[in-house]
Amino acid sequence: MMAYEPVIGIETHVELTTASKMFCGCPVDFGAPPNTNVCPVCLGLPGALPVVNGTAVEYAMTIGLALNCDIAAHSVFARKNYFYPDMPKNYQISQFDEPLCVDGHLDIDTGDGPVPVGITRVHMEEDTGKSTHIGEGGRIHAATHSLIDFNRAGVPLMEIVSEPDIRSAEQARAFVTELREVVLRLGVSDAKLEEGSMRFDGNISLRPEGTEAFGTKVEIKNMNSIRSLQRALNHEIERQTALLEAGEAVVQETRHWNEETGTTSGMRSKEESFDYRYFPEPDLVPVAVDDEWRERVTARLPELPAQAYGRYLDMGLDGPVAAVISRDVEYGSVFEAAVAAGGTPQMVANWLTGEVTALLRRTESTLAESAINGTALAELSSMVADGTLSASAAKDVLAGVAAGEGTPDEVAASRDLIQVSDSAALEPIVDEVLAANAEAVEKLRAGDGKVVGFLIGQVMRATGGKADPGAVSEIIRSRAG
């Protein structure tokens, strides 16, 4: 049987967190009472004209630069014509043949090393209003009528179009996760999938493995989480594979993802719905970006995950650990603070990705919510390194620090967890344990080294976990020898 390779491209829409809308001064403000954030411009009233929000252009440039795009010296807005009741002008002001950012890439890593995903373009446009469908459980299909709120109409929207460089649903997941992290890092969007401030559509086709030509592609819409994107793509891979294996053709169409059934279905579409009659927006003038402006925006770019990753590798971190810390803003900042406070990078990183992560998962909290900070982590890891704390005691100390009980020093003292490695203090305890476990001592003397662990455990129990296992082991061996 022939094996098929999926060819996937993703279109991502991101709402910007500017103060005002793309073409008018209405606030960008999720959750305002319906139809209050509206003016003649964003309501499409007769006679109103758009004016471009300069900050939105800078935000778009920021995204483009972060995605390694070329910033066009000259870009233009166009009208994309189609009728939809929540789109006030019945055309969307968007960019068409001359977008602001082109030809970039974003690297993703699903474990087999970095894979570059091409970014075709990043362009600016405006969002639509919001329709609520009334009747039959709010489903569009059976609705009797719809109610429209235009608050969201005109919110700045960036469309990020990838090249069809993605080869699996897993890579697609990695791509949007990485993209979301980039956008968050840039501070240009809150990228909340549940509120629709980040949304994506997928294009997918299959081709026989080893071939170059593209198969017939299908567009999938209505995926409102990263998980549903992955599920929808996997479903579509299965569906298209089955079609091809049965010798049937894939129909080029737009399909709608249904979260409940876990399937996609074809949408009723007419031939003219693709005839958008784009033409240059005569109400707006072109955007011209000179070197000076581009450089100014470039200089303000924060460090991006990929750059942080490279820097962490240079600091000596292992790849997987560096990957985790570089992709999470909070982890990154705690890590940087810990290193600045004198922590050994690899050790601090191990704590963050190991024990700290496990603790947060157990307590269902986030790093920001916990009292763990860089200084505490540096202190904790050095207490382990110099033997002040045993590995197990350190976990308790960490829990105490996270709960706000104080610095690691204070928690270790108050919980009485300072490790005992002083042989003068340990010898009497070891002797007591050996005396109580004659049988084990016998085995040890007969050359059965496995019982050492058991005996150490007994000492640890007797000391409430404070004994230094290394020191105890040495005493045991010297006594038994």
Partner 1 sequence: MSDLADLTLAEASRGLRAREFTSVELLEAVHRRAAMTEANLHAYLTLDRDGAARAAVAADSAFKAGTDLGPLQGVPVALKDNMVTRGLETTCSSKILSGYEPPYDGTAVSRLRDGGAVIMGKTNLDEFAMGSSTENSAYGPTRNPWDPDRVPGGSSGGSAAAVAAGSAMVAYGSDTGGSIRQPAAMCGIVGLKPTYGLVSRYGLIAFASSLDQIGPLTRRVEDAVAALEVVGGHDPADSTSYPGPVPDYRSGLESGVSGLRVGVVTELNGEGIEPAVQEAVDRTIARLEAAGATIVPVSLPSLEYALSAYYLIAPAECSANLARFDGVRYGLRRLGENVEEMMSNTRAEGFGPEVTRRILLGTYALSAGYYDAFYGQAQRVRTLIIRDFQAAYEQADVLVSPTSPTTAFPVGERTADPLSMYLSDVCTIPSNMSGDPAISVPVGLDGAGLPIGFQVMAPALGEPVMVRVAAEVERLAGFDARARFASSEVQ
Partner 2 sequence: MPVDIDIAKVARLARLALDDEELERYRQQCEVVLEHAARVQALPTDGVPPTSHPLPRTNAFRDDVVTECLDREEVLSQAPERDGDYFLVPRILDEA
Contact with partner 1 (CB under 8 A) among 46, 137, 247, 447: 46
Contact with partner 2 (CB under 8 A) among 7, 8, 10, 56: 56
Site of tokens 């007591």:
432
Contact with partner 2 (CB under 8 A) among 13, 35, 168, 474: 35
| Whole-angstrom distance, CA of residue 439 vs CA of residue 437 | 5
| Whole-angstrom distance, CA of residue 101 vs CA of residue 120 | 8
Q: Which is nearer to Mg ion, 152 or 185 (CB)?
A: 152
Joined together, the tokens standing for residue 27 give 């606030």
Site of tokens 């000179």:
290
Q: Does 150 sit near partner 2 (CB under 8 A)?
A: yes
Q: Does 81 sit near partner 1 (CB under 8 A)?
A: yes
In single-letter form, the type of residue at position 44 comes to G
Q: Does 39 sit near Zn ion (CB under 5 A)?
A: yes
80-119: contacts with partner 2 (CB under 8 A): 82-85
Contact with partner 2 (CB under 8 A) among 10, 57, 244, 475: 57
Contact with partner 1 (CB under 8 A) among 64, 88, 215, 469: 88
Site of tokens 């305002």:
32
Which window, 112-120, 282-290, 292-300, 455-463, contacts partner 1 (CB under 8 A)? 282-290
Q: Which is nearer to Zn ion, 88 or 215 (CB)?
A: 88
* C-alpha dihedral, 58 to 61 to 67 to 73, nearest 10°: -160
Using DSSP's 3-state secondary structure scheme, residue 346 falls into helix
46 contact choice in partner 1, partner 2, Zn ion, none (CB below 5 to 8 Å, kind-dependent):
partner 1
156 contact choice in Mg ion, partner 1, Zn ion, none (CB below 5 to 8 Å, kind-dependent):
none
89 contact choice in partner 2, partner 1, Zn ion, none (CB below 5 to 8 Å, kind-dependent):
partner 1
Which positions from 257 to 296 touch partner 2 by CB under 8 A, shown as an x/- string? ----------xxxxxxx-x-x-xx-x-xxxxx--------
Contact with partner 2 (CB under 8 A) among 132, 211, 252, 414: 132
Joined together, the tokens standing for residue 243 give 């079609």
Q: Which is nearer to partner 1, 80 or 185 (CB)?
A: 80
Q: Return the closest-CA partner of residue 386 out of 361, 421, 341.
A: 421
Q: Which long-range contacts (CB under 8 A, 24 or more apart) does 257-265 make?
A: 257/220, 257/221, 257/222, 257/223, 257/228, 257/231, 257/232, 258/222, 259/224, 259/228, 262/231, 262/235, 263/235, 263/239, 264/218, 264/220, 264/232, 264/235, 264/236, 264/239
Site of tokens 């086709």:
205
Which positions from 143 to 172 touch Mg ion by CB under 5 A, shown as an x/- string? ----------------x-------------
Joined together, the tokens standing for residue 316 give 């000596």
Tell the smallest beta-carbon distance from residue 133 to partner 1 (Å).
11
Q: Which residues bind Mg ion (CB under 5 A)?
A: 159
